[in-house]
Amino acid sequence: MAKANVDFSAIDREKLPKHVAIIMDGNGRWAKKRMMPRSFGHRAGMERVKDIVRMSSDIGISALTLYAFSTENWKRPKEEVGVLMSLLIEYLRRELGELLKEGVRFRFVGMRDRLPAEVQSILDEAMESTKDNTGMDLCVLVNYGSRAEIVEAARLAAEEYAAGKISEVNAEEFEKHLMTAGLPDPDFVIRTSGEQRISNLLLYQIAYAELYFTDVAWPDFDEKEYLAALQQFAGRNRRFGDIK
């Protein structure tokens, strides 16, 4: 992959987040401002994904989570949902080679059920072909909702308890059933485009994450903006309840 077009050599690698989760918001408003259809904004957003994935991997982030489609996003007009699904397919078809080259391990997180068959199969292909990679984990949330994930994890743990497979339902047993099992919790959450909310993203996993909200719309969130966010994270004092 080409190097990211921003100089990030000054940043202290020790102070980088290990797992960045991004709520990529504002594609629609970005397009509207340009008097273009929302699909134009989604396409511009997809271009941004490529840059941010590459920079994350180059800079040494160990996991990057991108919120691509929430369970609530099914409420949107059918055409827009179709555009989002097609762009996801297009992105993976075009970028899979690069992801492989960069050593990225792809992981789909979400509920498969409602996803079009073609989306399911490309997600499977991306996971299968990158599963032995040892570089950055790229976790893409599609048809994902955190509350449903938590309820399901609790249900599965309770089921195991009832069947006598586990002696108690504790955090460890519960976490095994989260869709993100095996990944470290995100320590940094970025949301673009001015909204200051979480929108059902990884509610359990981000309990102690640092939050970063920017007015910049996702299609304008370039490497420079990303670096500024990472620099802000590097300067934060994380106390975890302690007094350090």
CB under 8 Å to 233, separation ≥6 — which residues?
15, 16, 17, 187, 188, 210, 212
By beta-carbon proximity to Mg ion, the closer residue of 25 and 223 is 25
CB 27 within 8 A of CB 42: yes
Flag whether 28 is marked binding. yes
Catalogue the active-site residues. 25, 73
Residue 26 burial (CB < 10 Å; 0-12/13-18/19+)?
Answer: buried
CB 138 within 8 A of CB 52: no
Check binding of 38 to Mg ion (CB under 5 A).
no
User: Which of the ranges 64-72, 171-179, 206-214, 220-228 carries the binding residues for ligand IPE, by CB under 6 A?
Assistant: 64-72
Question: Of residues 176-205, which lie at the interface with ligand IPE (CB under 6 A)?
Answer: 193, 195, 197, 199
List the x/- string, 23-62, binding to ligand IPE by CB under 6 A: xxxxxxx---------------------------------
Check binding of 221 to ligand IPE (CB under 6 A).
no
The residue at minimum Cβ distance from ligand IPE is: 28
Is the dihedral angle over the CA atoms 236, 239, 243, 244 positive or is it negative?
negative
User: Which of the ranges 6-14, 18-26, 220-228, 233-241 carries the binding residues for ligand IPE, by CB under 6 A?
Assistant: 18-26
Total Cβ atoms within 10 A of residue 243 = 4
Check binding of 30 to Mg ion (CB under 5 A).
no
Single residue of 16, 25, 53, 106 touching Mg ion by CB under 5 A: 25
- Give how many residues touch Mg ion by CB under 5 A: 1
Place of tokens 């008097």: 35
Check binding of 71 to ligand IPE (CB under 6 A).
no
For residues 170 and 33, give the distance between their C-alpha atoms in angstroms, rounded to a whole number: 49
Q: What is the SS3 string spanning 160-182?
A: HHHCCCCCCCCHHHHHCCCCCCC
- Annotated binding residues for substrate, written as ranges, equal 26-30, 38, 42, 70-72, 74, 76, 191, 197-199
